[in-house]
A and B are shown apart, each in its own frame.
Chain A
Amino acid sequence: MIGIKSYGAYLPKYLLPRKLIGKAWDFPVVPGTKAFALADEDSLTMAVEAGLDCLAGFDPKSVDGLYYATTTQVYTEKDSASIISTVLDLRDDIVTADFTDSLKAGSTAVSRAYETIKANDDINSILVLAADQREPEPSTMWEYGFADGAGALLIADEENIPISIEDTYSIAKNIIGPWKRREKDEFIRTFEVKMDAKFYMQSVLTVMNKILEKNNLNPKDIQHAAYYYNNPKMHAGISKRMEFERGVAQNGMFFQIGDTGTPMPMMLLIGALRRPDEDANILMVGYGDGADAILMKVRDRKAVRDLGKTRLGLNGHQKSMEQVKNYNKFIESKELLEKDRYKRKSSAVTIWRDADSVYRNYGLKCQNCGAIQYPVNHKSCYVCQTDGQLEKIKLSYKGEIFTFTLDHLVGGAYLDTPVPRCVVDLEGGGRILVNMTEIENPEKNVEIGMKVELTFRKEHEGADFINYYWKCRPVRGRPNIVGGVE
């Protein structure tokens, strides 16, 4: 049976209270907060986080494919799925694809993953990731809505699947809005809002009704409905028109998190999966230039609830989120102000050759003395000096600070100074030098022995490509994936 074997999510650390936006631009105040990613994050790094959360407890080498959905690609030529699959340490004989350009790309990727597995005997699992970092035009009402985040679903064909996928249904509609031209638009443009709302209602209601009809179900049979929306009124409108019972339509996100775009239906689904009903029928709908509906059924309620306990999902991230104190801090933390920040040099050759350390987080283990070390390009042991006895080993994503400094004399682009340079002893071995992100008042808050976890971030754009690498951050509680040092 094909369905959802695991899930994961990512929400950035910081929330911008909407009243600060209102205050900054003299807008009518809207309640709630929205999640925003820092300058060292993008849709790709957020997808990696959600992927790590989703693969907790699984061997990444057992996954047969990776589909990635976003409207905010980091490259227009060069796919992201291949980068992400390397970072997540998947095999290379897998299927990969990027689904882009429409907000429904997330649900489309899930539908296509379902079909890929259904049609191929040798493809048994596909990790579907969706992430977006949509920049609203400053000083417009879109600032209230657009938010950043990522979702992950591991789709697999197994006898005991916690949630089965029963059916999918899609429609295509050519609607001008929202859109962004490749070169001429800095920000997303939107159609006349009332027309946009009309097409949204039409499309979502069509796919919902059609998939129910196809499966001889009526709205009363649906226990959880996770559908994209960018306006709470529209959301309520769908629920009313469908005559869903109270509590069926998942709406927990907009108030605190905002409109995360492509991953939103997935994230709403993940919210519902914390406390699913027994044998629940679930409807997930993505919208954008048409719509996709995916009908699912809870097969093993206990297994679903166990997933909720072993990964961060939405709730686990929400616990460690913090509100920024003022709008300036928000602007600064996204590096929206022009400043002199010089680029470091880079080399595509070096990055490619060092991929096992730079992306996959591998180190070396000495076969003579057992010492685990980093990075992978060494030939002789740091500890016993033995030559030619080092073998590659996957390192843990968690550790504690062995020593550190707060560097005020930084070269290059950094979010904030001083930059904490941290020597981290990873759990199970390996000592690694990384910068720290998501830390305020480092003078007070960084110390030897502090627990940290690694997070994949954008370092700089030297040599005119995006240079990613690991940083450490104060623990948010992301679980370890299998394959780390025992």
Chain B
Amino acid sequence: MVRKGIRDKIAIIGADATKYGELWDYNQYDLLYEAAHGAYDDAGITKDDIDAVWVGIFYYFTGLSGSTVEDILKLGGKPVTRTENYCASGMDAFRNACFAIASGAYDVVMACGVEKLMDEGSSGLPGFKIFGHPVFPTPSAPAMFSMAATRSFKEFGWVKEDLARVAVKNHENGYYHPKAHFRSKVDVDTVMRAPMIADPLGRFDCCAKV
């Protein structure tokens, strides 16, 4: 089988994002509207130029279908597809939007994603009440990844400080980015002393909930 691929068949003509953060006074309408209109403006198009939309949403209280996008952006009955693939839901919306262009089905599509986790109203990632097998353990998301970290430390001789340097680099990038959630630099020592989320992953090793 010859892989045809999608190289040179698609172009990103505009993009935007909201600031990341707790954003207590925003809901998903505010967020998606702002990001979508920023992208229209960046591309120099209007919503009438868009043929179809792909949206990545995972949590049920933000929306369980593509109609969330129609409800917010009022595109006038254009097809909207929702992708749900855990933390890769947004990336998959983008990937499938690319395939739609490459296939020749559409000329202009929008890939977007929106989530408003703080609206769920409790701490931690929501959903463990309803997901999964009745009795098999349901580790938190950080706990699932941390089991790989624990074993990797053993296999490769890594230590927590090696992970800490990743957090230091990421925070430095955030410091320079106006839309980043955290815009402060941290040092290795601060990362090492932070409270544990799921050993060996501490507060700076895990995504903050936004």
Chain A positions within 8 Å of B, measured between CB atoms, are 342-347, 350-351, 354, 358, 375, 402-412, 418, 421, 423, 433-435, 443, 448, 459-460, 462-463, 467-469
Contacts and interface: CB of A to CB of B under 8 A. Distances in A.
Interface in B132-185: 133-143, 146-151, 154
B198 A418 contact: yes
B147 A404 contact: yes
Contact of B138 (A344, A402, A423): A344
B139 A408 contact: no
A423 B140 contact: no
Contact of A434 (B128, B129, B137): B137
Given A346-B134, A418-B199, A467-B134, A405 B139 contact: yes
B3 to A, nearest CB: 21
B150 A403 contact: yes
B128 A407 contact: no
Contact of B136 (A343, A418, A462, A469): A469
A249 to B, nearest CB: 44
Contact of A350 (B134, B148, B149, B195): B134
Given A346-B134, A423-B147, A406 B198 contact: yes
B124 interface: yes
Given A404-B150, A405-B146, A421-B147, A411 B135 contact: no
B136 A407 contact: no
Given A459-B135, A467-B134, A411 B129 contact: yes
B158 to A, nearest CB: 13
Q: Report which residue of A343, A346, A408, A460 has the largest number of chain B beta carbons within 10 angstroms of its beta carbon.
A: A408
B64 interface: no
B136 A433 contact: yes
A433 B137 CA distance: 7
11 contacts: A344-B129, A403-B154, A407-B143, A409-B124, A418-B198, A421-B198, A433-B137, A433-B139, A459-B135, A460-B135, A468-B135
A405 B136 contact: no
Given A344-B129, A421-B143, A406 B199 contact: yes
Nearest to A421: B139
Contacts of A358: 135
A357 to B, nearest CB: 9
B196 interface: yes
B130 interface: yes
Contacts of B200: 405
Interface in B115-129: 124-125, 128-129
A448 B133 contact: no
B197 interface: yes
Given A345-B129, A406-B199, A409-B124, A351 B135 contact: yes
B198 A409 contact: yes
A351 B133 CA distance: 9
B199 A443 contact: yes
A375 B136 CA distance: 10
B118 to A, nearest CB: 16
Contacts of A350: 133-134
A418 B112 CA distance: 36
Task: List the 8 shortest-distance A-B pairs measured between CB atoms, nearest first.
Answer: A411-B128, A409-B140, A403-B151, A469-B135, A405-B146, A346-B134, A407-B143, A406-B199
Nearest to B151: A403
Contact of B135 (A404, A408, A421, A467): A467
B33 to A, nearest CB: 32
A403 B130 CA distance: 26
B134 A407 contact: no
Nearest to A411: B128
A389 B133 CA distance: 24
B135 A407 contact: no
Given A402-B151, A421-B147, A448-B151, A409 B133 contact: no
Contacts of A354: 133
A42 to B, nearest CB: 15
A342 B154 CA distance: 35
A344 B128 contact: yes
Contacts of A469: 135-136
Contacts of B147: 403-405, 421, 423
A75 B162 CA distance: 52
A157 B209 CA distance: 64
B190 to A, nearest CB: 19
Interface string B49-73: 0000000000000000000000000
Nearest to B140: A409
Contacts of B130: 345
Contact of A412 (B128, B196, B199): B128
Contacts of B134: 344-347, 350-351, 462-463, 467
A469 B137 CA distance: 9
Given A342-B129, A407-B140, A469-B135, 8 more contacts: A403-B154, A404-B147, A405-B147, A406-B196, A408-B198, A409-B125, A411-B140, A421-B143
Nearest to B149: A405
Interface in B190-207: 195-201
Contacts of B198: 405-409, 418, 421
A344 B143 CA distance: 18
Contacts of B136: 375, 433, 469
Contact of A409 (B148, B149, B154, B197): B197
Contact of B139 (A342, A407, A462): A407
A412 B138 CA distance: 9
A148 to B, nearest CB: 23
A350 B132 CA distance: 11
A410 B198 CA distance: 10
Nearest to B133: A350
A343 to B, nearest CB: 8
Contacts of B137: 421, 433-435
